[in-house]
A and B are shown apart, each in its own frame.
Chain A
C-alpha cells in the first residue's frame, strides 16, 4: 500500500515538474494557438495546427522578428479546444494566465471562437480567429460595438449568405429553397438566417427552414418534410462531418434536388465521408488552391512538401492570421499586448494567401472576396469568384 502511494505521489510530482518547465526565455514572442484537435471536427484542428507550425518555423528560420533593435523568436503554445465552447474558453484562459502569451490565434469554429474571444477581450489579449465567420465573434455581446482585441482572417456570414443566395437565384435558377441547419451551433444558425433573409429579399421563397441539434444522425423526418415542400435547391450550412449523412439520407429518400453549402464544407474529409453522393454540388469558401494569387503558390507548395496534401481553407486562413500578426509585430517599438493591439488595428490592408483583405478603422472584420467551388470527380474545382 505504502509503495503504491509513493508511486502515485512521485508520478504526480513528475507531471508537475514537466508541466512547470514551460516558461521560456524573454527573447521569445509567445503565441497561443487554440485548435479543434479532437472532437467533432479534428480535420479543422489538424490543418490549423499544421499551418501554424509552418508559419512559426518560417519566422524562426528567418531569424525571428526585430522589435526595437532586438531579435525575437516566436514560440507556439497549442491548446486543444475539443470543438467545445467551454474548453475553448478555458484554453484561452490558460494561455493568457499560465503561458502568458502575447497573442492567440484560433479557435476556428464560431461556437468556440465566440466564448474564447470574450475571454481575450476582457483580458486585453489579441485574438485572431482564422476561420470563424459568425459576426458575433468580433462584436461585444452586450453593446454590439466591435471588440477591441479580436480580429479575424475570414469574411463574415452576412456576406457569405448574400453570395450564396445570389448564386442560388442567379446561377442555379432556384425560386424555392429549403434549409436544414444545426440550431445549436452559432455558425450554422447564423448563416442559415442570413441566407434566408437575402434569398427572400431577392425574390426567392424559402419553403422549408428545418433544424436539428449537434450530434443528431437521423434527419429523415426533416428531409421528408423538405421533400414534401419540393424546393429547387437545398442549402446545408453545416460542418463537413454532418453534410455527408444529410445528403446520403436525402438520396435514400429519393430527393434529387441540388445541394448548396458554405465554407464548413471545404475539407477533404467531406469527400472521404461522402463518396459519390456529393458529386456536382456547390459551396462557397475562402480560397481555391488552384486559382490562388501568385503569393499563395509559395505557401501551397511549402505546405504540400511539409504535409503531403493541399492546404484547405483553414490552413490558408491560419497562415494569413500569422501573417497579420507578423506584420503588426514587425512595426512595434516595444513588445507588449497593448502596443500589439494598436499596431494590428492600424493595418488597413493585407495581401494574404486567401486574397486581399481590407480592414476598416475600428473593426476586426476584413472585407475580402469569396469563391464558389464545385465538387467534381472527388475534387474541389473552382467555379466562380464573388466580390464584396
Chain B
C-alpha cells in the first residue's frame, strides 16, 4: 500500500510537468491550428534560465521562477512574431517545418554556448518528510502544488476574462473573430506568452527536480508532452492537463509493476489503443472542415 502511494506520488510529480508543457502545445494549436514543435526547446530554455539565475546571480526561488517564466514567455512572443507570423497564411507544413527549425536553432544555440551538461544548484532547501514509510520531499510538494495553481490560474484566465473570451473566439472561428473587433495579433501574442511561460515554469521546476540539464533535454520531454496533449484532445486545455497526468501515471505504473524495460513500449501501446477508440483524444471533438 505504501509502495503504491509512493509510486502515485512519483506519477503525480511527473504528470504535473508533462501537463504544464502539454498546455503550451494545446493552446497554440487551439488558436492557430499549428503544432509548435519548438515548444520542447522553450522548456529547455526555461531550465537554462533557471541555471543562469541560480548560478550567476544566486537569486532565491521566487525571483528565479519569475525570470524563467517571463524570459520564456518573451521568447515565445518573439519567435511567434519573427518566425510564425509571416507564415500564417502559408501551407500548414511550412509552419511546422519552421517550428522544427526554431527548435533546432535553440538547441544548437545553447550547445554553442557550452556543450557540457550543467548542474543546477539547489535553490530551495530540500527536506524529506517520512510518513510511515512514505517519503515525500519538499521539492515534490512544490512541483505538484505549483503546477496545480498555475493550471487553475490559466483555466480562470481562459474561461472568465475578456482575453480568454477573445482566445476562445479566435479558436472558434479565425476569420469572423476579427470582424467582431477581436485584436487577433495581440491575442495570439498573449496566447504564446502564456503557453511559453508555462513551458518556462515547467523547465524551471524540472531543472530543480532533475538538476542535470543539457541542450537536448527538451526533445524527449517535449514529445511526451505533445503526446499528452494529443491524448487529452489537442486544442483542449482540460484535455492537456488530464493527458499529462495520464501519461505520467501510465509510465510510472508500468515501470512499477512490469519489468522497466517494457515501460515505453507498454505505455505507448496503451495510448495507441486509447486513440483507436477516441481518435480526437479524450476531450477532443471532431472538427469538420468546409471545402
The answer, among B128, B135, B140, B260, for a CB contact under 8 Å with A212, is B260
**Taking A225-B260, A228-B3 as contacts, is the C-beta distance between A43 and B128 under 8 angstroms?**
no
Which partner residue on chain B sits nearest A244 by CB separation? B212
Q: Is A2's CB within 8 Å of the partner chain B? A: no
Whether B115 pairs with A38 at a CB distance below 8 angstroms is yes
| Residues of chain A with a CB closer than 8 A to B221's CB | 217
The answer, among A42, A43, A221, A248, for a CB contact under 8 Å with B255, is A221
Whether B214 pairs with A248 at a CB distance below 8 angstroms is no
The distance in angstroms between the C-alpha atoms of A261 and B4, with both chains bound, is: 29
CB under 8 Å from chain B, chain A span 86-139: none
Which partner residue on chain B sits nearest A215 by CB separation? B220
Whether A217 pairs with B256 at a CB distance below 8 angstroms is no
Range, interface on chain B:
35 or more
CB under 8 Å from chain B, chain A span 212-258: 212-213, 215-218, 220-222, 224-225, 228, 241-242, 244-245, 248-249, 252-254
**Taking A217-B206, A221-B10, A241-B212 as contacts, is the C-beta distance between A42 and B261 under 8 angstroms?**
no
Whether A218 pairs with B14 at a CB distance below 8 angstroms is yes
Whether B252 pairs with A221 at a CB distance below 8 angstroms is yes
Q: Mark B194-207, 1 if CB is under 8 A from A, else 0.
A: 00000000000010
Whether A273 pairs with B261 at a CB distance below 8 angstroms is no
The distance in angstroms between the C-alpha atoms of A221 and B116, with both chains bound, is: 27
Q: Is B178's CB within 8 Å of the partner chain A? A: no
Whether A225 pairs with B256 at a CB distance below 8 angstroms is yes
CB under 8 Å from chain A, chain B span 69-103: none
Q: Is B111's CB within 8 Å of the partner chain A? A: yes
Q: Is A211's CB within 8 Å of the partner chain B? A: yes
Which partner residue on chain B sits nearest A218 by CB separation? B14
Whether B130 pairs with A220 at a CB distance below 8 angstroms is no
- Tell me the smallest distance from the CB of A103 to a CB of chain B, in Å: 26
| Residues of chain A with a CB closer than 8 A to B219's CB | 215
The distance in angstroms between the C-alpha atoms of A241 and B130, with both chains bound, is: 29
Whether A210 pairs with B260 at a CB distance below 8 angstroms is yes
Range, interface on chain A:
35 or more
**Taking A43-B116, A211-B260, A225-B260 as contacts, is the C-beta distance between A220 and B13 under 8 angstroms?**
yes
Q: Is A37's CB within 8 Å of the partner chain B? A: yes
| Residues of chain B with a CB closer than 8 A to A279's CB | none
| Residues of chain A with a CB closer than 8 A to B115's CB | 37-39, 42
| Residues of chain A with a CB closer than 8 A to B209's CB | 218
Which partner residue on chain B sits nearest A208 by CB separation? B260
| Residues of chain A with a CB closer than 8 A to B216's CB | 39-40, 215
| Residues of chain A with a CB closer than 8 A to B252's CB | 220-221
Which partner residue on chain B sits nearest A275 by CB separation? B119
- Tell me the smallest distance from the CB of B18 to a CB of chain A, in Å: 10
Q: Is B139's CB within 8 Å of the partner chain A? A: yes
Q: Is A298's CB within 8 Å of the partner chain B? A: no
CB under 8 Å from chain A, chain B span 94-134: 111, 115-117, 119, 126, 128, 130
| Residues of chain A with a CB closer than 8 A to B14's CB | 218, 220
CB under 8 Å from chain B, chain A span 131-169: none
The answer, among A211, A213, A218, A253, for a CB contact under 8 Å with B210, is A218
CB under 8 Å from chain B, chain A span 3-48: 37-40, 42-43
Q: Max chain A CB contacts within 10 Å: which of B14, B119, B206?
A: B119
Whether B212 pairs with A254 at a CB distance below 8 angstroms is no
Whether A217 pairs with B10 at a CB distance below 8 angstroms is no
| Residues of chain B with a CB closer than 8 A to A241's CB | 117, 212, 214
The distance in angstroms between the C-alpha atoms of A133 and B20, with both chains bound, is: 41
The distance in angstroms between the C-alpha atoms of A183 and B260, with both chains bound, is: 9
Whether B117 pairs with A224 at a CB distance below 8 angstroms is no
| Residues of chain A with a CB closer than 8 A to B137's CB | 252
The distance in angstroms between the C-alpha atoms of A38 and B110, with both chains bound, is: 12
| Residues of chain A with a CB closer than 8 A to B140's CB | 252
- Tell me the smallest distance from the CB of B49 to a CB of chain A, in Å: 18
The distance in angstroms between the C-alpha atoms of A360 and B140, with both chains bound, is: 54
Q: Is A346's CB within 8 Å of the partner chain B? A: no
Which partner residue on chain A sits nearest B3 by CB separation? A228
The distance in angstroms between the C-alpha atoms of A272 and B3, with both chains bound, is: 32
- Tell me the smallest distance from the CB of A265 to a CB of chain B, in Å: 14
| Residues of chain A with a CB closer than 8 A to B135's CB | 252-254
Q: Is A269's CB within 8 Å of the partner chain B? A: yes
Q: Max chain B CB contacts within 10 Å: which of A210, A217, A252?
A: A217
Whether B128 pairs with A252 at a CB distance below 8 angstroms is yes
The distance in angstroms between the C-alpha atoms of A114 and B147, with both chains bound, is: 43
Q: Mark A260-292, 1 if CB is under 8 A from B, else 0.
A: 000000000100111100000000000000000
Q: Is B161's CB within 8 Å of the partner chain A? A: no
Which partner residue on chain B sits nearest A180 by CB separation? B260
The distance in angstroms between the C-alpha atoms of A213 and B11, with both chains bound, is: 18
**Taking A211-B260, A253-B135 as contacts, is the C-beta distance between A220 and B206 under 8 angstroms?**
no
- Tell me the smallest distance from the CB of B265 to a CB of chain A, in Å: 10
**Taking A43-B116, A215-B216, A217-B217 as contacts, is the C-beta distance between A252 and B13 under 8 angstroms?**
no
Which partner residue on chain B sits nearest A239 by CB separation? B117
Q: Max chain B CB contacts within 10 Å: which of A215, A218, A242, A274?
A: A218
Q: Is B171's CB within 8 Å of the partner chain A? A: no
The distance in angstroms between the C-alpha atoms of A249 and B253, with both chains bound, is: 18
- Tell me the smallest distance from the CB of A196 to a CB of chain B, in Å: 14
| Residues of chain A with a CB closer than 8 A to B220's CB | 215-216
13 extra A-B contacts, CB within 8 A, seeds A217-B221, A224-B256, A244-B212 = A39-B115, A43-B116, A210-B255, A215-B216, A217-B206, A217-B210, A221-B253, A224-B10, A225-B256, A241-B117, A241-B212, A245-B212, A252-B139
Q: List 26 A-B contacts (CB under 8 A).
A: A43-B116, A210-B255, A211-B260, A212-B260, A212-B263, A213-B264, A215-B220, A216-B220, A217-B221, A220-B14, A221-B7, A221-B11, A221-B255, A221-B256, A224-B7, A225-B256, A241-B117, A244-B211, A249-B210, A252-B137, A252-B139, A253-B6, A253-B135, A269-B117, A273-B119, A274-B119
Q: Which 9 A-B pairs have the closest CB atoms?
A: A221-B255, A220-B10, A217-B210, A42-B115, A254-B135, A221-B252, A273-B119, A38-B115, A210-B260
